[in-house]
Structure 1
Amino acid sequence: MQLDHIETFLDIMESRNFNRTADRLGVTQSTVSTRIKNLEQAIGSELFLRGRAGAEPTAAGRRFEAYARAMLSTWSQARHDVRAFNRFEGTLRVAAQVGMTRSILPGWVETLFQVLPKSSIHVESDYSPQMISDLSLGNLDIAVVYAPRYLPEIAYDPLMVEEYVMVSTAASILSEVNPDTYIRPGYTVALEKAHAEALPQLAIGRLSMGSETLAEAMLRRMGGTCYMRSDDARRYTAERPSFVVEGAPALQQPVHTAILARRKHEPIIRRGIRALHLAVMSMES
């Protein structure tokens, strides 16, 4: 099985057309057909149904897509690691939850540069399910997640608890909050549950958002009320006419580190975790 077969398969999954994929890859249509035929023979299953309308993936094709993407990702990471081998003593790939780019992530990266001066560092921000999947596939070394998904190969440890507070452009106390301009925090399952228990009167609103970054952007654009991380709330209220709403309960979001359990004693992993804890301590001081 060759990588160009995998790349061709994934392109057809997007284009749904052999001729279009041939144009996009700069090869002939017969080359595309041959690559897919060889791939189907190697797998032992038909991957596409060809017709006048184009190419539709079979059930086997749809199932194979995730494996194909994982193979390309693993190959890309392998090339990066091997190329870096001659220049660096090691490579560390880390990721944190989307939304932490202004909180944990910058300080963590800065501290990693100090504790791993001869290692290359790759940094991402993503959502918990994808980070956990990347850990399982070996595409990440350390992740900071909100929602652990318990798998035998993944080890989790509590890191900290983030506090969210209610911020409003119009209401200084909870009784003044207008439900019609309130943005319900759907950022995580834990926050949604805590919000429903603490503020049942605001649990069913017109607008909810799954991103705190987007909620803040809408607050800037339209005004209203939403929940923000405490540090973001301090920054926002210092920049714009707004209030931390008095009487509104703070919501708590547990944060966890995640690594492959079998790698927890590796020196580079231990140093990466140590750098993370130092960054959190610095942020909280």
Structure 2
Amino acid sequence: MDSVDTEQARTFLAVVAAGNFVSAAERLHVTQSTVSTRIRTLETLLGCRLFVRNKGGTTLTAAGRHFQKHASTLVRTVEQARHDVGTAKGFRAAITIGARMGLWEQFLIRQLPELLAKAADLSVRAEIGVEADLMEGLVEGRLHIAVMYTPESRPGLKVEFLFNDRLILVSTRKKRRAELDGNYVYIDWGPEFLARHSTSFPEFFGSALTAGIGWLGLQHVLENGGSGYFPFRLVRPHLEDGKLHLAPGGPEFTIPVYVVYPADSDPSITGPALVSIRRAADMEKAPG
């Protein structure tokens, strides 16, 4: 009998991460029929059904839940082998950490020197992505740790709350009251932010510029003028030097930040990074 290969395991994990065959196909850049064929072949090889398909997407069967851990191990082993082969001489292993750009800035980036110093035998790879990319990377084993706003609950992954990010409305012009004018830049901080933003500004139907990366939106505002919602830790220096001003009466939003990692991860690899990330989170939670 043929054996399960990494392509089939990766396709299985992509369906788990995406929640349905269509989205999994988009992530893998293949057709839906290709995904279906790979899953059917995998189910034939294993002699069991892995998914139940319904209107809401796909749900793992009991056999599928058992196989997920093996699929993750298979893909992770191949990825680890690739990392080990590519690990720079003199390092024991490599760790890959992913996060949104806005969570690297003034947060994770500050802990990298400490991590590199305290875990001198590890080489670190830093990646940027949105929640869907980060979750997929964790499920497939490409990422050891990911920091994000809205993680999905997936078997085998541990989700840990870090701190609440404080989003404030700032502008390059002093305003008498908070308003979303023609120079307002909408930053996509995720579904939680969208829901709260829509409730607070029911008459807002979109802006001329929408940015998926906070850094890009902030640079545009600073260079061309305008306003937008940004984490306080990002704009604090600009508020202090007068380049930005707090919009009076503007509602503030808080979005929880989480760190996600495999429950069975090797503590000798992920441990030092998690300690640094938690320390950074404690600094964010401290008054002032």
Normalised to the residue count of structure 2, the TM-score between the two structures is 0.67
Q: Any conservation in 2 of the 1:163–1:252 contact (CA below 8 Å)?
A: yes
Query: What is the aligned-residue identity percentage?
Result: 20
Partner of 1:19: none
Equivalent pairs, count: 225
Q: Once the two structures are superposed, what CA deviation does each residue of 1:100-146 show, in whole Å capped at 9, x if it has no partner?
A: 23222212312212331222222112111111111111111111111
Look up the match of 2:276.
275
- 1:278 Cα offset (Å): 1.5
Please tell me whether the aligned partners of residues 83 and 94 of structure 2 are also in contact (alpha carbons under 8 angstroms). Answer: no
**What do residues 135-165 of structure 1 show as CA deviations (whole Å, max 9, x unaligned)?**
1111111111111111112110101111111
Report whether the alignment pairs 1:244 with 2:246.
yes
Q: Distance in 1 between matches of 2:264 and 2:76?
A: 21
Tell me, in whole angstroms, the C-alpha distance in 2 between the residues paired with 1:133 and 1:80.
Answer: 18
Kept after mapping to 2: 8 A contact 1:173/1:248: no
1:169 and 2:172 correspond: yes
**CA deviation after TM superposition for structure 1 residue 191, in Å:** 1.0
2:144 is the alignment partner of 1:141: yes
Select 1:121's aligned residue among 119, 124, 138.
Answer: 124
Q: By how many angstroms is 1:217 displaced?
A: 2.6
Q: Deviations over 1:233-253 (max 9, x none)?
A: 222234554311121121111
Query: What is residue 115 of structure 2 aligned with on the other side?
Result: 112
* 8 Å CA contact 1:111, 1:278 repeated in 2: no
Q: Does 1:153 align with 2:156?
A: yes
Q: CA-to-partner distance for each residue in 1:186-235, whole Å, 9 max, x for gaps?
A: 3211111121223334x324334333222213313432221111022222
CA contact (8 A) 2:148 2:257 kept: yes
Q: Against the structure 1 CA distance between its residues 171 and 137, is the aligned structure 2 distance closer, same or farther, given a 3 Å change threshold? A: same
Q: Give the Å deviation of 1:273.
A: 0.9
Matched residue, 1:206: 207
CA distance in 2, matches of 1:126, 1:76: 18
What TM-score, normalized by structure 1, do the two folds share? 0.67
Tell me, yes or no, if structure 1 residue 179 matches structure 2 residue 181. Answer: yes
Using the TM superposition, give the Cα deviation of residue 74 of structure 1 relative to its aligned residue in structure 2, in angstroms.
Answer: 7.4
Partner residue, 1:13: none
Flag the 1:240–1:85 CA change in 2: closer, same or farther, 3 A. closer
SS of residue paired to 1:179? coil
Give the conservation status (yes or no) of the 8 Å contact 1:115–1:275.
no
Where does 1:1-285 land on structure 2 (aligned, <5 Å)? Answer: 60-61=33-34, 77-84=80-87, 87-175=90-178, 177-201=179-203, 203-207=204-208, 208-239=210-241, 241-263=243-265, 266-282=267-283
Root-mean-square deviation over aligned CA pairs? 3.2
Distance 1:140 1:241 in 2: 37
From the CA coordinates, give the structure whose radius of gyration is larger: 1
Q: Is the 2:75–2:140 contact (alpha carbons within 8 Å) kept by the matching residues of 1?
A: no
Which stretch has the larger CA shift, 76-85 or 95-104? Answer: 76-85
Q: Tell me the distance in 2 between the aligned counterparts of 1:242 and 1:58.
A: 47
Judging by fraction of residues, say which structure has more helix.
Answer: 1
The answer on whether the counterparts of 1:95 and 1:123 sit within 8 Å (CA) in structure 2 is: yes
Structure 2 gap segments, 5+ residues each: 8-29, 39-71
